[in-house]
Every structure is written in structure tokens, then in C-alpha cells.
Amino acid sequence: MRALLFDGQLRLRTDYPLPVVPPGEALIRTHLAGICNTDLEITRGYLNFRGVLGHEFVGQVVQAEGAPELVGRRVVGEINAFCGECPTCRRGDVTHCPQRTTLGISGRDGAMADCFTLPIHVLHVVPETIPDEWAVFTEPLAAALEITAQLHIRPTQRVVVLGDGKLGLLIAQVLQLTGCDLAVVGRYPHKLAILARRGIHTHLADEPPTPGADVVVEATGHREGFALARRLVRPRGTLVLKSTFHEDVAGDVTTDLSALVVDEIRVLGSRCGPFAPALRLLEQRLIDVTALIEQVYPLDAALTAFDHAARPGALKIMLAAASG
């Protein structure tokens, strides 16, 4: 089968072995896969991953011995394949299972291939009213929703989102639903315009809002983002960290830890989130993802697609392996 492999260099294989389907897992034929910043960071050395890339996907189940009712259905899937047996899983923290593999990121081939496998228990059926192009956004939209799952954002609070990447644009739309006093800081006018059309206040990075925000979400993907977030948050405020990047970049991030103590700043790491409400938001058309799609490439043009995705200011680039 075809598969986009990273083994120190990015290359499209046309003779990659078909996956063996373990017990309890499903074989999925990829329809669409999204390229996100994590995929780009992996090609720069993040987590030292070697294998097939891709964790944002929508596809069709072609084999599922433990769940025949899923065969033929369109699905999206949570990226953490957890064991369900360890103490971490039993207390409900399945995304932190020490035995987990992570689709296209750690220990498990991803979705940028003709076929791949995932455990049945992490799959979610896609409602018929959600087109493939929207369904690809389920995983990053769930990550945006994790903020509201972790933190009660009140309508009376002032909130700033730093970053106008694909995740930042989704986070802003999710937080807008809370009714909070929201502003977004970014580098690209064409991206900020997507939010401005929805009534969200925006600022270019060289003209950030005044300090004193109750909550600042750092989603820039750049080391400078944390310093700006720290300047904008009020004493006893909350910093939500969403950026992940290659260790060489992360290692350059510095902060005054004593000042965090003195100002009693809460620092909250935020990663994967709930899929079911993400699908509901897409089905109810409460989140606009169409405006975030820049181009869809065939899987055979994956290298060109990655070059496009790496351009400054690019929006969502997708790979089409099969039609839905």
C-alpha cells in the first residue's frame, strides 16, 4: 500500500506492508488526513518518531472482528491507544496511560496511508451530515475543547488566545461560545480575518492587548509565545499551554519561576480532548472549519503537500487517500 513514512527523511512508499490487525482493533481505509504542526515538528525531530505520519483523519472501517456493526461506517478516532487495565486508565486518565501508543506520533503508524489500524474503543462514528472535510477537524477541535473541560471559563472573564494557527483558530471559536471577553493575537491578517468575521476581537502580534487577562492560552508554537503570555496574564491568573515543538526550540524557553510563585500564576498543560462534543459542535455547525481549509492534495503528492503546509501563514492542508 501507499504510506507517507518518516525515517529521518520524509518519503512516500508505494510498497509499504499492509497492517496486521491486532485483536480488538479495526482496519480503517483513510479518506482524508490533515497535516498539523505536530506532523511538521516530527519531521524536524520532535519525539524522535519513525513511522507513518498522521493523526487527524476520517476513514471507513473495512474490518473489525470485535465490532461488525462498524464495518462500512465512517469514523474518526482518538489518537491515544490505551490499555484500559493499568491504574492510570482505571482512574480515567486514559490519555496518560503509560502503555499507550499514539497514532502517527509514538509507537504506532499513522493515518497518512491507504490503511491503518486503531483500537475499536477509541473510534467514533461520524454523523452523515458531517462531510469528510469537516470530520478531519475532530481531533484538533477536541483538543480545543479540552481547555473548557479542564478549566471553567466564565462569561465575566477576560481571555486572550495567542496564536492564529489552525489550533488557535479553533480554540478561539470554542472559547467564544463561553461568552467571555475574548481577544486573539496572531501574525497573519488573513487568518485573524476569519475570527473577526465571527465578531472576535483580534490583534496583530506587534500590537497585543493590554495586560491583565484572567486566562491566556498560548498556542503560538513558538518559544516567544510563553514570554508574551506571561506578560499578559494577571496575578492569580491562568496560563494554558498548548504548544508542542522540537526540544531544541523548547530548550530555549526561559521564565522567572520566582515571579510565577509571587504572582501565584496557575500553569495548565492541555493536550488531547473529548471527541463526542467535538462531533456535536460540527454537526450543529457551531464551529466554522470550512474557512480553515486551504487545499486538499492527493496522497501521491504528499511531499508537495508538506512543503505547502510548512509555508508561513498556511491554513489546513489535507491529503486525500480515498473518496468518501
**93: Cβ contacts below 8 Å, ≥ 6 apart:** none
180-207: average pLDDT? 97
Q: Are residues 12 and 100 in the same domain?
A: yes
Q: Are residues 196 and 315 in the same domain?
A: no
Question: Does position 323 have pLDDT exceeding 60, yes or no?
Answer: no
Q: Please count the structural domains in the chain.
A: 2
**110: Cβ contacts below 8 Å, ≥ 6 apart:** 33, 51, 52, 53, 54, 55, 103, 104, 116
Inter-residue contact 1 to 112 (CB < 8 Å): no
pLDDT tens by residue, 21-70: 999 999 999 999 999 999 999 999 988 999 999 999 999 999 999 899 99
* Locus of grid cell 491566556: 216
Phi and psi at 128, nearest 5°, equal -60, -30
pLDDT tens by residue, 188-200: 999 999 999 999 9
Q: Are residues 197 and 263 in the same domain?
A: yes
Q: Tell if the pTM clears 0.85, that is, is over it.
A: yes
**Cell for 183?**
481577544
Question: Does position 206 have pLDDT exceeding 90, yes or no?
Answer: yes
Would residue 274 count as lying in a domain?
no
* Locus of grid cell 515571579: 259
Domain containing residue 45: 3-137+289-320
Q: Are residues 9 and 131 in the same domain?
A: yes
Q: Are residues 24 and 133 in the same domain?
A: yes
195-206: average pLDDT? 97
Q: Are residues 226 and 295 in the same domain?
A: no
DSSP sequence for 201-244 = EEEETTSPPPS-EEEEEE--SSTHHHHHHHHHEEEEEEEEE---
Question: Does position 249 have pLDDT exceeding 80, yes or no?
Answer: no
Would residue 275 count as lying in a domain?
no
Q: Are residues 238 and 260 in the same domain?
A: yes
285-313: average pLDDT? 98
CATH of the domain at 82: 3.90.180.10
Q: What is the C-alpha separation between 14 and 113, in angstroms, rounded?
A: 9
Q: Are residues 184 and 160 in the same domain?
A: yes
Q: How confident is the model at residue 324 (pLDDT cuts 50, 70, 90)?
A: very low
Q: Are residues 17 and 94 in the same domain?
A: yes
Inter-residue contact 39 to 167 (CB < 8 Å): no
User: Across the strands, what pairs with 10?
Assistant: 6
What is the predicted pLDDT for the residue at 211?
97
Q: What is the C-alpha separation between 135 and 32, in angstroms, rounded?
A: 9
223-248: average pLDDT? 88
What is the predicted pLDDT for the residue at 221?
85
